[in-house]
A = this chain, B = another copy of it.
């Protein structure tokens, strides 16, 4: 079923479809009166809606049912990626959203070839936010991931209740294979708070992370983790991590 995000659902009996939703549901998907769609509100509730009236410029719907759905990863995950060339950022946001990431942060790494100046930054972020929204709707998430830009890794810090991981190719080469498993075990056995535990995972750009970048992060509490024995491209490693989080924390 088609799903849309809408911060507020003011009138459950006579909900007027916002322009964007009207355009997609009525014009593109050709929904008719009586057809259903889902609306996710800011409180992460899922409202099953039925189209009640359609005109050439507007449509209304009413709520049939409201329910809660657990489609969010049990750990609030921030994917931090060095800027790479081409449309890799778009790829990471789309696939990473399907795989459950909560936040994306892109940064200009020591070895980044690409860079986003102020003007480009704004445009890029707007585009990435659109991709995150579409992927969140498609993958039936109940939140929309955020996207941000950081001009330097030095601005990055860990909150007191946050764990930090560096996907460092050299760690994998040295045969490091315990850090991620240990970290997920800690998260799994931690007492269940009302708030989800937090995880930040840092990935280099295509050229990788510089040694100084890694050691500076380590000084701030991030730990190196190997992600298996194969060399993954910059845009593949975040997907490995997110899939592993789901496998370890959502399956049983």
Partner-B contacts on A (CB < 8 A)? 69-71, 95, 98-100, 138-141, 177-178, 180-181, 226-233, 236, 239-244, 246-248, 250-252
Contact = CB atoms under 8 A, between A and B. Distances in A.
Contact of A252 (B177, B233, B247, B250): B177
A230 B251 CA distance: 12
Q: How many copies of this chain are found per oligomer?
A: 2
Q: From DSSP, what is the main secondary structure of chain A's interface residues?
A: loop
Across chains A and B, which 7 residue pairs bring their CB atoms closest together, nearest first?
A: A243-B243, A244-B247, A228-B246, A240-B243, A177-B251, A139-B230, A71-B229
A174 to B, nearest CB: 13
Contact of A230 (B99, B177, B180, B227): B99
B229 A178 contact: no
Nearest to A246: B228
19 contacts: A95-B233, A99-B230, A99-B236, A99-B240, A100-B228, A100-B230, A138-B233, A139-B232, A140-B231, A141-B230, A181-B252, A228-B246, A228-B251, A230-B246, A236-B239, A239-B239, A243-B243, A243-B247, A244-B244
